[in-house]
Structure 1
Amino acid sequence: MRLFVGLLPPPAARDELVLALEAHRPRWPGLRWLDPANWHVTLSFLGEVPDPVLPGLRTRLAGAATRHPPLTLSLTGAGAFPSARRARVFLAGLGGDRPGLARLAERVGAEALEAGAGQTDRRRFTPHLSLARCRADMDVSSLVEAFGTFSGAAWEATTVHLIRSNFGGGTTGGAPLRYETVGEWPLTARAPRGQG
């Protein structure tokens, strides 16, 4: 099964972002806007994971979660991958405890590799929430600039999710991509003094 490890923004943060995007979406018909129900912050993309690896992966992710405290985050600003002038993905950035988020991403990625899942050529972690995609490079500079001032309310990430990507048949007109949580573990460590 195709898996990744991520954080899910709470409904209030998601709704706030949906409302903020309303004015921008009609002006960008060339973008395929992602379903807010699928919005997530990817900590580690695992790819295809064989079923026999799952028990060990679950154990390692549970252990990683117990060693990290909840994170105070917010959705803020805008950007694009690989760049605003040649975008394939339009995204919202993340504010708040970015160092803690990077440590959590590093830990779950390392634990996944130890379990026999995950990518050995992991890229540098760039915290974001994908909002829209495009099939060909698109200049979204003006959208990034217009939405760059967005600053959402702070929220607390308390749970790490192991998520399965369910593709809708793989053909045009098939069922849309759907994500399914197949495991979740609370972040239970206490924040170090002076944090949290």
Structure 2
Amino acid sequence: MSERDTIRAFLAVELPASVRQTIARLQRQLQRELPHADMLRWVNPDIAHITLKFLGETPVAEIGRVSDAVEAVARRHAPFTTSLGSLGVFPHIQRPRVLWVEATDENGAFRRLARDIETTMQALGFQPAQEKRYIPHITLARVRQRIRRHEQAAIGETIGDLEVALDMQWRVETITFMRSVLTPQGPHYTPLSTHALQPPTETEEA
């Protein structure tokens, strides 16, 4: 690979094994309870994550600069606690294309981190995020293209009515700069660098 090549990349929060196991159980529940579940492509829970910023095609020559910038962002944010919340869809409940479960953000730490990432990456020349408002979430499944409109609406209606009890809390402590390779079997992710969020110093706390 030469410096003129590009890679598909994104920035994410990886999940502990216990959270991935809970995600797998939730997917099995949804496969039983959702109508037209065969029209959904389920995400492999082993690679489930929370995206902070999709970078897209990234020049190999820029990998070091991106990694340094992410390290600087990580040093500005302390670790924080999140948990699994409610179910949701993109873009609309009547026309769902993506099914997800929320990562809660009660004190706004997730959104502050994502906003800092967004501003920093735009300064490096990356495109702005398409979404106007960042929602921390874990993608569970994607709706297949050939689905009929009434089937799509039925999935959204059921998601809107479904209540799930997910007693799972964990600490967000790192940001991962990840390479994504798309294959017929699904995406393959390779960490390029990992950056630890920094606890506030005594001076900052004072």
Question: For the superposition of Structure 1 and Structure 2, which TM-score range results when normalised by the shorter chain?
Answer: 0.7 to 0.9
Q: In 1, Cα distance between the equivalents of 2:121 and 2:54?
A: 10
SS of the residue corresponding to residue 58 of structure 1 reads helix
The higher radius of gyration belongs to 2
* Aligned CA distance change for structure 1 residues 121 and 77 (closer, same or farther; 3 Å): closer
Tell whether the 8 Å contact from 1:78 to 1:150 is kept in structure 2 after alignment: no
What's the offset of the Cα at 1:31? 0.7
Name the structure 2 match of 1:70.
Answer: 79
SS of the residue corresponding to residue 125 of structure 1 reads coil
RMSD: 1.9
Name the structure 2 match of 1:60.
Answer: 69
* Aligned CA distance change for structure 1 residues 131 and 144 (closer, same or farther; 3 Å): farther
- Give TM-score scaled by structure 1 length: 0.86
Tell whether the 8 Å contact from 1:89 to 1:132 is kept in structure 2 after alignment: yes
SS of the residue corresponding to residue 123 of structure 2 reads helix
Q: Deviations over 1:121-176 (max 9, x none)?
A: 54221211110001336222213422x333332100100011111111xxxxx332
Q: In 2, Cα distance between the equivalents of 1:112 and 1:106?
A: 10
SS of the residue corresponding to residue 198 of structure 2 reads coil
Q: Aligned runs of 1:112-151 on 2, under 5 Å?
A: 112-116=121-125, 118-120=126-128, 122-123=130-131, 124-136=133-145, 138-139=152-153, 140=155, 141-146=157-162, 148-151=163-166
Q: In 2, Cα distance between the equivalents of 1:48 and 1:31?
A: 27
* Aligned CA distance change for structure 1 residues 18 and 80 (closer, same or farther; 3 Å): same
Tell whether the 8 Å contact from 1:34 to 1:131 is kept in structure 2 after alignment: yes
Does structure 1 residue 159 correspond to structure 2 residue 191? no
Note the residue ranges of structure 1 that are not aligned, 5 or more in a row. Answer: 169-173
1:7 to 13, 25, 39: 13
Name the structure 2 match of 1:33.
Answer: 42
Name the structure 2 match of 1:171.
Answer: none
Q: Deviations over 1:52-109 (max 9, x none)?
A: 2111111110010011011201111101001121000011011144511001001112
Name the structure 1 match of 2:119.
Answer: 110
Tell whether the 8 Å contact from 1:17 to 1:152 is kept in structure 2 after alignment: no
SS of the residue corresponding to residue 4 of structure 1 reads strand
- Give TM-score scaled by structure 2 length: 0.82
Match for 1:90: what amino acid?
Answer: L
- Bigger share in helix: 2
Q: Aligned runs of 1:181-192 on 2, under 5 Å?
A: 181-190=191-200
Q: In 2, Cα distance between the equivalents of 1:67 and 1:163?
A: 20
Give the ranges of 4+ consecutive aligned residues of structure 1 lying more than 6 Å apart after TM superposition.
Answer: none
In percent, how many aligned pairs have the same letter? 25
